[in-house]
Amino acid sequence: MISGHTRVFGLLGHPVRHSLSPEMHSTLLRELGIDGVYVAFDVDPTRAHLVGEAIRTLDLVGVNLTVPFKTAILPQLDHLTRAAEEAGAVNVVTQLEGTLSGTNTDGIGLYRALQEEHGFQAQGSTCVILGAGGAARAIAAHLASEGAERIELHNRSAARAQDSCAHLAQFYPHTAFQPCPLGTLPPCELVVNALGGGAEATVAAMDLAPLPRHAIWCDINYWMKSPPQLAACAERGLRTSTGLGMLIHQGALSFELFTGHPVDPARIRAFLTR
């Protein structure tokens, strides 16, 4: 039952109708007996400058952010965690008495998923990230914090890749960050496709031959029916991951930030796969 005491959580982005987050968080709220609802808000991108004030005005307890608001909201926040500063983007905002705090759970969420699914350890590794946006920077930052030796950001915009690498190098000077054009893969331990829609043909045309047999290919776009290269990598014997694991682990972290209740990621995986 929804009453005047029911607290509201949500997902803000454009588009958002494909997201599994409302089902995930609403189920957890119901199972834990928390008087709250989690809904998807499809927000007009031209109103990005009003998102922070909307959270305050509507007294939303906590929200997840997706494109295109992960970076647009930064000037509207009162506090950023180290993870958010490293990523230069936030995907979780919590509100307490009008004060907005932002953090980023994308990087640690993906890393925990890779550990769970493949036993992956970043120490001394070479990693390739396709993309240079907020999610890509968050993932790169966490890989660097876990000891990755070299991280390449392959992106359609060379300037954006260069800016992202320069930003990340401020926090992790012992990791080599390299901007690269989108197209050719080097030998590496991990490839993460953090590009959104529109790049499928370019990614599908990449030559997988340089990847060693122990490499992992991960595509964080869990909502895509057939992510580019995922099936081809599996056929070559490479290890693969969809973005579902990342969604589960970052979702568990988000839920704890929202409510103070820790959640076993296995619990989320059980009903999402069901």
d(CA 85, CA 78): 13
Task: Judge whether 165 and 144 are in contact, CB under 8 Å.
Answer: no
Strands 92-96, 62-65: pairing kind: antiparallel
Task: Please pick, among 28, 60, 64, 70, the residue that the annotation labels catalytic.
Answer: 70
Task: Judge whether 194 and 129 are in contact, CB under 8 Å.
Answer: yes
- Alpha carbon separation from 84 to 105, 138, 252 (Å, rounded): 8, 8, 17
70 included as an active-site residue:
yes
Give the 3-state secondary structure of residue 239.
strand
- Establish how many alpha carbons lie within 13 A of residue 185's alpha carbon, considering only the half-sphere containing its beta carbon: 27
Q: Where are the beta strands (DSSP E) in the chain?
A: 7-13, 36-42, 62-65, 79-80, 92-96, 99-103, 126-130, 150-155, 176-181, 190-193, 216-219, 239-241
Helix axis angle, 106-118 to 244-259, nearest 10°: 130
Cβ-in-10-Å burial (0-12, 13-18, 19+) of 246 comes to: buried
d(CA 90, CA 114): 21
Backbone angles phi, psi at 135, to 5 degrees: -65, -40
CA 114-119-122 angle, 5° bins: 70
| Residues classed as catalytic | 70
